[in-house]
Chain A
């Protein structure tokens, strides 16, 4: 497998694991096993936020798959819950969702509607806490 393909596979595994709350994966034969343990996300999610939440913190929602950015929220600021659909990312024949990683208030849209986002491109800013 090519390196880019490997990285994409890992990105896929990571995204799906986060979505379903998986923290570790072990696969392969007993003598030849691979174990993946997922570190805390660079962009904190609700589960990875420290116990002591600052009075107000900014969370940047980034694209976890490439695609044309199609926001589904119109008026800002907007209070959202973890898992709410914030945007679609259209990639040719298919589309994926960009969801809120935590409860909070979407205060900024950081990408132009219909612009092409890549992995990790910032799309929204969510303010959490007071």
Chain B
């Protein structure tokens, strides 16, 4: 059991989200940097669907009320345990009364904490993810507050004491810096054809700035105005996380995991699933570039994430054997 001391700017219980419910207006939710949460769960030997904490921009702290093994993943939040640095991508067994604090992340947006066995919050519509907009899932359907207590789903007595991390030499991709320039790949969508060659080239050549008004719902981008050759009035239709829309302002918006399930703006493309974690960690004010990709390659890229998580699960299994 842990007690939240300071929720920071936004902390919530998340898992891999809800899929297959967009037809009834239920969004995906779940960890924005899905890869980080999956790696954290793998480091503890948790199930893929185990729920953990997503902490946006750090400033978060909790104390332990019972022994619990945790894994720290995602952005570098300069975390400390009882005042001593706790390195990134680290698994550690905490004793009752210990305090974990996160500083403010400068090179990424979101830190993750997995706990052994996963957080024990009720499953709603097949997931424990917080849908803060809808007010359900997670812990009482909301962001965490100081004083909230969260229990873990596993008996902590059977857990071997952990104190190890992932080597940056072995997994360099996990140490990516999201504060500079992030390149994400996209698959062109229906209205991509409404833009001429020059406009499409401009879209891919531009370093788009992520505006401060960006969040789990969507990322607003600042750059040159994109003008279509054909202007269309579309009826609202289903959209997925990663959809790059072009509102009348001419500046793209990338829909993220808490986005509405329908929208009517023209779609330039969809950021591939494998790159949504990169987008999740791209800091406000940093630069985003888009590279056109094809659907088959996008599926292969997603398998690379699965392979990474499996490899980490295998490579760390001996650390957990008691």
Contacts and interface: CB of A to CB of B under 8 A. Distances in A.
Interface stretch (A39-47, A54-62, A82-90, A120-128): A82-90
Nearest to A19: B163
B84 A96 contact: no
B319 interface: yes
Interface string B71-96: 00000000000001101000000010
Contact of A95 (B84, B165, B312): B165
B164 A95 contact: yes
Contact of A96 (B95, B161, B164, B312): B164
Contacts of A92: 167, 170, 315
A6 to B, nearest CB: 14
Contact of B161 (A20, A85, A88, A93): A20
Contacts, number: 47
A90 B169 CA distance: 8
Contact of A94 (B84, B85, B161, B316): B316
B170 A93 contact: yes
B163 A96 contact: yes
B173 to A, nearest CB: 13
B309 to A, nearest CB: 13
B274 interface: no
- Give the interface size class of chain B: 10 to 19
Given A92-B315, A93-B312, A94-B319, A83 B164 contact: no
A105 interface: no
Interface of B: 84-85, 87, 95, 161, 163-167, 169-171, 311-312, 315-316, 319
Given A16-B161, A20-B95, A20-B161, A90 B84 contact: no
B132 to A, nearest CB: 35
Contact of B84 (A16, A84, A93): A84
A18 to B, nearest CB: 11
A100 to B, nearest CB: 10
B167 A93 contact: yes
B84 A85 contact: yes
A108 to B, nearest CB: 23
Contacts of B87: 85, 88, 97
23 contacts: A16-B161, A19-B163, A20-B95, A85-B84, A85-B85, A88-B87, A88-B165, A91-B167, A92-B167, A92-B170, A93-B166, A93-B167, A93-B170, A93-B171, A93-B311, A93-B315, A94-B164, A94-B167, A94-B316, A94-B319, A95-B165, A95-B166, A96-B164
